[in-house]
Structure 1
Amino acid sequence: MKAGSNLLNAVSAIALSAGIVVAGAGVVSFATVTVAEAAVISRVDVRGNSRVDASTVRGNLTITPGAQFNNNDIDESVKRLFSTGLFSDVRISVSGSTLIVEVEENQIINQVVFNGNKKLKDADLKQVVQSRQLGAYNDLSLQADVQAIRDAYSAIGRSDATVTTRLVPVAGGRVNVAFEINEGDRTKIASINFVGNQAFGDGRLADVITTKRSGMLSFLTRKDVYDEDKLRADEELLRRFYYNRGYADFRVISSFAELDETNNEYVVTITVEEGERYVFGDVSIESTVPGIDSDSLKGLIETRSGAVYSAKDVEDTILAISDRVATQGYPFAQITPRGDRDYNNRTISVVYLVDEGTRAYVERIEIRGNTRTRDYVIRREFDLSEGDAFNQVLVRRAKERLEALKFFTSVNISTQPGSQPDRVVLIVDVQDDSTGEFGVGGGFSNSDGFSATVDITERNFLGRGQFIRASVGGGEDSRDYSLSFTEPYFLGYRLAAGFDLFKNTDSSYDGFDIDNQGINLRIGAPITENIYLSTAFRYTQTEYSDVTLTSITSMPERNAVQRAINNGGHDVASLSYTLSYSTLDNRTLPREGVSAYLTQEYAGFGGDSEYIKTTAKANYFHMLSESADMIGQVSVGAGHVTGVGDDNLRVFDHLFVGQKIIRGFDTRGIGPRVFNGTTEVGAAGGTTYFNGTVEVSSPMPLISRDMGLRFNVFADAATLYGNDISAADFGTQTLVGSDMEWRASIGAGVSWASPFGPLRVYYAEPVVKESFDDIKKFGFGASTRF
């Protein structure tokens, strides 16, 4: 750049000495006087301007009357005048003691219009072009606008869009600018080919990357839009995938896309070299920092000798050690893993070195690209702020947290030097994603018929990171309404506080309708990265309407309703806590990891019920076949409720088990029942349940994985037993099925990761059941994003 500037100055000097002035980009004018040495002028004469004031011209000159100037000053003045975008030509000459500046003004843009555009609205295109109404017309800017429009169409998968311009002069030196657009057809991705992969099939690797092959519904997902930056990001996804599965030598040899202009389709080819698969060898910690005991840190190691090598386990270990030594007063300590490969035994021994790192501080955190999400929503995911010690591990953790929010399509954090050698500027580049969801779910029961639920969810309300959901649902005999709100950073702390308002009616009971309404207040906080604790206070008011006591065939229900009517309704006030744990690799489609929760609820804060209820569930996911993408799942669960004090539990406070726990059975489908002689009159509920599920899922055979269809087979088992209803409430009726009797079902289903969200359909056949159980063999559900 400097050499080019010197050359331009030299050319200007030669031209001036010959009576020629170089005016900007290729405009050459003849001057009346040669300026070879420094000169002085007494006045500046501006000519040719009509709209632009002469003072504006003079203000962009580096030459002033009474001061010496030379060729460089003339050259710089011409550049400045052209850079204003106001002029199409500039000529500077000297006549005696007068500097003559002759300009030709650019035309003023009267109007900018777009013709032929349907896929991109006018408002979208106006954001990408430089030409503006009442702005100066410029040929170079116009050509840049043409390319910007083409780039915008390429971003939505229309690489063959063409753009031409048409100028229409109008009065007063103005011009209308029209962009004529031919949007063309969508540029598809015909295929994605992997070369060099042996351990994992093409289908499995295609699941890892975000670029997808074009399919029937690609016009909705837009995942088949080719983008070079996205392909580079896919390379990184492949690296992490292989690094976490033992392939420490993996590398991407090349990745490119070829456009078949005849068919307007890309063919993407990714060539990889997998290398050998490694396991961890010896793992140890060494510290050169006085005061840090290596032995005390060994419990933080996530990498175990003999386990398959995983880059994520190494990163988790570095993070855990960094956190520990920082709390011990060493914020600048740097943890560096040193790997030693044994190529013969295919092992990698790792030594974690704890050293004094470079002292550097965060000067500022600069956030870019967020058009919707507020800055503070992004900043609060960082465990460091301006002035804190710079820690690369904490930066990586912040990136993972931002990605986990699912607010952004991309998150990139880079660093730049600050104002001092020990200062660092963090640059956070994000791109907002859609965070709204529209959901619909339903099922069919042989007793209740069809039911449906519709809900609207926004996970980033007004860009504040707040969660809000409104839901309406029901079936032939029920109606449900709810409104939920969550503030994830209550009072500026990592406390998720929120409330749920709910109301539901159920007229499926004989002789009465139930109306429930109430509020649930909750607050939760992470204990570690994997453990979360939440507490809630719930108040429910139950009223009974359209009561005909003689029509209530179940005596326990009749007595419970009678007591509630006498008391003006039945209120329950409870306090609960939930402790949850998760190591799932993906919450949408887990392939590896464990999730579990334990909930305990105590009711008795001034309400009409007093009990302790405990429920728990654990899920384990494991990849049965990487090449076939076959996932195994084992789930177990349990629940128990017991009364507090001398009173028995009322029937409605018992546990009920149905299709949510064991498929193939209806709501309240299994467990103890009330009988009047040989006739069943209602479900009595139980005090204890256990359940288990074994499930295997894999992509649908003979169908492209890009469709997102998965087939699953399952086996469910559950038991619900025990009962704490007062014997007096049964009267002449009897309780059946209170013993521990297991039910079981087997079935199959299909899930579809559709553009509208996940869809699920299943059919379950009970294979172990009791004669009084209620059966429901078919179920389905759906949700979608917007």
Structure 2
Amino acid sequence: MKAGTNIVRTAAAIALSSTVLAATTLGVQLATAGVAMAAVVNRIEVVGNKRVEADTIRSFSQVKPGQNVSESEQDAIVRRLFSTGLFSDVSVNQSGGTLVIKVAENEIVNQVLFQGNSKIKDVQLASLVQTQPRAAYSKATAQADVEAIKKAYTKIGRSDAVVNVQTQEIGQGRVNVIFNIQEGDRTKIASISFVGNNAFSDSRLKGVISLKESGLLSFIQRDDVYDPDKLHTDEEALRRFYYNHGYADFRILSAVAELDASQNSYFITITVDEGERYTYGPVKIDSTIPGVDTQSLYSELKTQEGDTYSAKKIEDSLVNLTNHLASNGYAFAQVTPRGDRDFTNRTIAVNYVIDQGPRAYIERIEIRGNSKTRDYVIRREFDVSEGDAFNQVLIQRAKQRLEDLKYFDKVNITTAPGSEPDKVIVIVDVSEKPTGELSLGGGYTTSGDSSGPVAEVGIQERNFLGRGQFIKVSAGFGTNTQNYNLSFTEPYFLGRRLAAGFDVYYNKSTSGDYDSKMVGGDLRIAAPITDSLTAQLAYNIKSETFGSNNGTEYDSQGNQLAYNGANYKSTCSNPNPLQDPNGYSAPPYTDSPIINQAICDSPYLTSSVSYSLTYNTLDNTNDPRDGFFVQAGQEFAGLGGDAKFVKSTAKASYFKLLSEEYDVIGQLSGGAGNVSGFGGGGLRVFDNFFKGQDIVRGFDYKGIGPRQNGVALGGENYANASAEATFPLPLISRDLGFRGAVFADAGSLWGSEYDGFTNVVGTDAKLRASAGVGLIWASPFGPIRVNYAQPLMKQSYDKLQQFSFGFSSRF
């Protein structure tokens, strides 16, 4: 009986549960149906808007009447409205069939103001911030602007600059946005040290990187400003330096910049692992492409067995091989260098393997980040263009060329897939930097006719109007000199790699034995023959006027008006002063009748064409340590004008790093020249070479060669040679730019058509020689040099100048 009762109860319970479950399910379905019905939007109501039209907000919501709107879709509406930057707050909810969008509008920016800034001008800061007048104010954007301003101050060495932003209500929903700036003090670089370097000293490595320790001239050079980007760039410069000097395993273990807040200075420590130094082992070329003559390619290589390993020479070899193959019909040839290290003998064998690369074409070259530089200025540095075969080696060479222009802080080239599988988009991202320079210089020079205080001001622009053109205007003033110069160069004349330009100049000197004035100019064009060899052709014209330097005045007929209070007839009135047995009837310009006659015959007009060949393999043009610089040329005068001559000159310099540890640089230099007249007129005396301290230090400007009564006549031939070694000065920071020098010079100036004239001496090729010491300063105004030279071989009529000071050139 109990068992039956339990069965009945269980069955009833099951039935009840089923009924409840059914009811619950029905309830859920009804509720769901109710939600679905409530989600249908019949109208959209906008609340809180003042300036933005309701229809505009409805359009941003992207909701249409009759559309179902879920909670996730409501969230999407909020995100879309916030993304417009017009609102500070947005909420969305639904009441029955009405979708309510409630907004709080952002205030409109009336003005963007900067307070407390002096080191960075308002116009510069305005270009950095995204907050702009007449735009909606955004707190997030304003905070991003604060960080951008801080970064700008960090780049000029003020890492402790404090920046905050505030708004000023001015009514009608408008605000002024004010950035308050406390610029702080300059954050300096107290020290740069290296750990792990054995092959090169700290001072040598400091010369490789761009960051410098703070010093006396840092306020001018501004190279002691710490910037993380600059440190990364310097790391890459160190890698290149070591890779190019044989250290193929070089690594930078760490590069740390620590800020000492108490000193407001950075302490930079770079830890390196140099590894072993390698030379090249056997060098081979292999090809998997039928028809490629590998033997003919060896002349394109810059890598030779036994030479010190250099990554740059491998890169140059890759470019040469790629260009050679492309010009012979193998546009898709791919050259890959494969190195085989011999750790025992410390050599790296290199095998250049030529394979058929993927057949990919350049669909387009896309340039980004250039606001000043024209696109074509960047494109012309590529040896490839749209439609050409894609070649990674040539792309990397273009990157190097763009960096060498010094128009950009950064150059980055990447690729993206094109519209078809065999097409590639080349993307060039650049970050521009200032390319104009204002130079101010002053000092004292002892260079002959230019002796005395000097001052120079110059303005130059390397990227004129963003066209890649070079222009320079300069003016120099001294006690007895005036110089004005204008130069212009178009590096890609007629769309080709031809550098065309002109120079205009005016030089005046009122010192020495006589006054001189020169006005002239030239038109020139230069073309690269190879990477190292350049040819230049020029047309030159100049007018030279010579006169007295003793205050004597002459009328238009050449008659002297006054000399020491008395009237005399000008020497120029003498019909034949060189043949006058009685001498001059009036005080002459100089003690040389030959020079006096030449002065009387001025002004002279010289019209000439010239050419030159320049071979340059220097590792660094500004501070060479290895390589050759050779230049030879001729000038032909006689295209109209008064002069008829052929002038030939040549000079050469060879640099070699004698000691890597102590950074001792050796230099051997030499030069020679000859000038010959033609056309029966003979040479004018002022067409001769005038030489002195420029070929043999220790002698005066115009201090050697033929003379008459002590006045320089110049010579028809010269030859010179010198040997020099330069080195860092001990106990003086390399960052100051000082180096010492020891040197020895020898040379001569000889030959004159006036040989045998009265009191003419020095026409023979007697050797002059000297030895001395020098101090070189790489100043912000250009290289300045002081020399002391002791003549070892001289003639009694030579003019000496043992101490010399002035602006200097290395070659």
Q: TM-score with structure 1 length normalisation?
A: 0.89
Partner residue, 2:786: 761
After TM superposition, give the deviation of residue 40 of structure 1 in Å: 2.7
After TM superposition, give the deviation of residue 488 of structure 1 in Å: 1.6
After TM superposition, give the deviation of residue 447 of structure 1 in Å: 7.2
Match runs of 1:206-355 below 5 Å: 206-355=206-355
Q: Separation in 1 of the partners of 2:770 and 2:108?
A: 76
Partner deviation per Cα, 1:132-162 (whole Å, 9 max, x = no partner): 2232222222322222222222222222222
| Contact 1:576/1:602, CA 8 A, preserved across alignment | yes
Q: Does 1:487 align with 2:512?
A: no
Aligned residues: 739
After TM superposition, give the deviation of residue 339 of structure 1 in Å: 0.7
Choose which of 494, 517, 522 in structure 2 pairs with 1:520: 522
Q: Which runs of 5+ in 1 are unaligned?
A: 1-17, 19-32
* 1:77 match: secondary structure: helix
After TM superposition, give the deviation of residue 582 of structure 1 in Å: 0.4
Partner residue, 1:692: 721
Higher deviation after alignment, 775-784 or 624-633: 775-784
Q: Does 1:85 align with 2:119?
A: no
The 1:721–1:737 alpha-carbon spacing in structure 2 relative to 1, beyond 3 Å, is same
After TM superposition, give the deviation of residue 509 of structure 1 in Å: 6.8
After TM superposition, give the deviation of residue 596 of structure 1 in Å: 0.6
The 1:662–1:467 alpha-carbon spacing in structure 2 relative to 1, beyond 3 Å, is farther
Partner residue, 1:636: 670
Q: Separation in 2 of the partners of 1:115 and 1:507?
A: 53
After TM superposition, give the deviation of residue 122 of structure 1 in Å: 1.9
Q: Separation in 2 of the partners of 1:103 and 1:699?
A: 70
Q: Does 1:713 align with 2:742?
A: yes
Q: Separation in 2 of the partners of 1:415 and 1:426?
A: 6
* 1:605 match: secondary structure: strand
Q: Separation in 2 of the partners of 1:714 and 1:117?
A: 51
Choose which of 580, 602, 611 in structure 1 pairs with 2:614: 580
Partner residue, 1:12: none
Q: Separation in 2 of the partners of 1:161 and 1:585?
A: 40
Amino acid at match of 1:525: A
Partner residue, 1:403: 403
Amino acid at match of 1:555: P
Match runs of 1:60-459 below 5 Å: 60-422=60-422, 423-438=424-439, 440=441, 442-444=444-446, 449-450=451-452, 452=454, 454-456=456-458, 457-459=460-462
* 2:692 match: secondary structure: coil
The 1:471–1:163 alpha-carbon spacing in structure 2 relative to 1, beyond 3 Å, is closer
Q: Does 1:751 align with 2:776?
A: yes
Q: Separation in 2 of the partners of 1:113 and 1:257?
A: 34
Match runs of 1:661-740 below 5 Å: 661-675=695-709, 680=710, 682-725=711-754, 730=757, 733-740=758-765
After TM superposition, give the deviation of residue 289 of structure 1 in Å: 1.3
Q: Which runs of 5+ in 2 are unaligned?
A: 1-27, 548-553, 559-569, 572-583
Q: Does 1:555 align with 2:590?
A: no
Q: Separation in 2 of the partners of 1:238 and 1:212?
A: 14
After TM superposition, give the deviation of residue 646 of structure 1 in Å: 3.3
The 1:257–1:560 alpha-carbon spacing in structure 2 relative to 1, beyond 3 Å, is closer
Q: Does 1:650 align with 2:721?
A: no
Higher deviation after alignment, 632-641 or 367-376: 367-376
* 1:69 match: secondary structure: coil
Q: Separation in 1 of the partners of 2:196 and 2:34?
A: 69
| Contact 1:439/1:782, CA 8 A, preserved across alignment | no
The 1:387–1:588 alpha-carbon spacing in structure 2 relative to 1, beyond 3 Å, is same
Q: Does 1:591 align with 2:625?
A: yes
Partner residue, 1:537: 539
| Contact 2:542/2:606, CA 8 A, preserved across alignment | yes
Amino acid at match of 2:683: L
Partner residue, 1:600: 634
* 1:604 match: secondary structure: strand
* 2:595 match: secondary structure: helix
* 1:60 match: secondary structure: helix
Q: Does 1:465 align with 2:465?
A: no
Q: Separation in 2 of the partners of 1:498 and 1:138?
A: 51
Partner residue, 2:561: none
After TM superposition, give the deviation of residue 741 of structure 1 in Å: 1.0
The 1:113–1:645 alpha-carbon spacing in structure 2 relative to 1, beyond 3 Å, is closer
Over alpha carbons, which structure has the higher Rg?
2
| Contact 1:85/1:138, CA 8 A, preserved across alignment | yes
* 1:40 match: secondary structure: coil
Q: Does 1:496 align with 2:533?
A: no
Amino acid at match of 1:766: P
* 1:208 match: secondary structure: coil
Q: Separation in 1 of the partners of 2:87 and 2:624?
A: 62
| Contact 1:341/1:348, CA 8 A, preserved across alignment | yes
| Contact 2:131/2:142, CA 8 A, preserved across alignment | yes
The 1:475–1:72 alpha-carbon spacing in structure 2 relative to 1, beyond 3 Å, is closer
After TM superposition, give the deviation of residue 455 of structure 1 in Å: 4.6
Higher deviation after alignment, 546-555 or 700-709: 546-555
Q: Separation in 2 of the partners of 1:55 and 1:572?
A: 80
After TM superposition, give the deviation of residue 400 of structure 1 in Å: 2.6
| Contact 1:35/1:71, CA 8 A, preserved across alignment | no
Q: Separation in 2 of the partners of 1:726 and 1:606?
A: 28
Higher deviation after alignment, 522-531 or 638-647: 638-647
Partner residue, 1:40: 40
| Contact 1:746/1:767, CA 8 A, preserved across alignment | yes
Amino acid at match of 2:52: V
Q: Separation in 1 of the partners of 2:135 and 2:487?
A: 49
After TM superposition, give the deviation of residue 573 of structure 1 in Å: 1.7
* 1:57 match: secondary structure: helix
Amino acid at match of 2:531: E
Q: Separation in 2 of the partners of 1:167 and 1:561?
A: 76
Q: Separation in 1 of the partners of 2:466 and 2:220?
A: 24
The 1:59–1:760 alpha-carbon spacing in structure 2 relative to 1, beyond 3 Å, is farther
Choose which of 724, 741, 745 in structure 1 pairs with 2:766: 741
Higher deviation after alignment, 312-321 or 108-117: 108-117
After TM superposition, give the deviation of residue 95 of structure 1 in Å: 2.4
The 1:695–1:370 alpha-carbon spacing in structure 2 relative to 1, beyond 3 Å, is farther
| Contact 1:537/1:575, CA 8 A, preserved across alignment | yes
Partner deviation per Cα, 1:608-634 (whole Å, 9 max, x = no partner): 222211100001111111121111111
After TM superposition, give the deviation of residue 216 of structure 1 in Å: 3.0
| Contact 1:62/1:76, CA 8 A, preserved across alignment | no
Q: Separation in 2 of the partners of 1:473 and 1:260?
A: 44
| Contact 1:131/1:137, CA 8 A, preserved across alignment | yes
After TM superposition, give the deviation of residue 481 of structure 1 in Å: 3.1
| Contact 2:448/2:512, CA 8 A, preserved across alignment | no
Partner residue, 1:14: none
* 2:640 match: secondary structure: coil
The 1:692–1:288 alpha-carbon spacing in structure 2 relative to 1, beyond 3 Å, is same
Partner deviation per Cα, 1:289-342 (whole Å, 9 max, x = no partner): 122100111111211111111111111111111111111011211111111111
| Contact 1:500/1:520, CA 8 A, preserved across alignment | yes
The 1:738–1:134 alpha-carbon spacing in structure 2 relative to 1, beyond 3 Å, is same
Higher deviation after alignment, 329-338 or 60-69: 60-69
After TM superposition, give the deviation of residue 647 of structure 1 in Å: 3.4
* 1:304 match: secondary structure: coil
Q: Separation in 1 of the partners of 2:754 and 2:187?
A: 67
Amino acid at match of 2:746: A
| Contact 2:472/2:486, CA 8 A, preserved across alignment | yes
Higher deviation after alignment, 46-55 or 382-391: 382-391
| Contact 1:455/1:472, CA 8 A, preserved across alignment | yes
The 1:147–1:543 alpha-carbon spacing in structure 2 relative to 1, beyond 3 Å, is closer
The 1:286–1:371 alpha-carbon spacing in structure 2 relative to 1, beyond 3 Å, is same
Q: Separation in 2 of the partners of 1:56 and 1:280?
A: 71
The 1:447–1:649 alpha-carbon spacing in structure 2 relative to 1, beyond 3 Å, is closer
